[in-house]
Structure 1
């Protein structure tokens, strides 16, 4: 516990054949105003090849319909194809944050974000994100977009 803050410091280790191959270090600090400050670092052992994109995925009950961010947009823009996106302040309805591919998969990423405002959430830093009313599990399990059903807990405030 700090003077007016609470700090939770956690480390997780992922093992392969009894050896640590990935270490994840999380620091969650709750300040006196009730804000959460999150720092996550990951480290791989030298025996692993470079890892693909890593990040955080969680569900929130926030049902805000308007998403506002300072970053690349306005459309979906992944690191390998974001040259058509422009850096600016963007605002879109939640329904416009998904890309309805015929075969559902993770989608809607916005890159190079400096801030995100969505309902009661205000996030700052340097990150990529997606926000949509479908869980990652539903995206992976559904075979056609027309079968997708919006969920009560919104998934992905996914950060990379």
Structure 2
């Protein structure tokens, strides 16, 4: 059947790509290592105050790197990943309904919820593992520890 409009004749002669195949190709493609996972963890009123105050202190010394509370929390998470000896899992997890966020990249996320991550090794949820890592980092700073400058850099895949 021939259409009156010649544009429609050209469309019927050409193959139009199926949009579903493009979606399938995107799903099969490899994820970028720097894509982020938005994770949240509960904090008590005391930990909320400590995180806010540490953020303000560190923002003054590194204003170009630490621009938000979430970025500072992610740096603290990296610090606890780089120093697993400071992470303590023997505290009680309490969901206080008051949350802070952090955004680890793909590589950092595997340390928390990946196949060999803390959550699977210890049999706890990813949020509980993140909670223990963040509270351990807060306690490390509170006891006089410092954040090393390696924690300011993203953890990258080995080449």
Q: What is the TM-score with the length of structure 1 in the denominator?
A: 0.21
Q: More helix per residue: 1 or 2?
A: 2
Decide which structure has the larger Cα Rg and report it: 2
Q: What is the TM-score with the length of structure 2 in the denominator?
A: 0.21
The one of the two structures with greater contact order (alpha-carbon pairs below 8 A, sep at least 6) is 2
Q: More strand per residue: 1 or 2?
A: 1
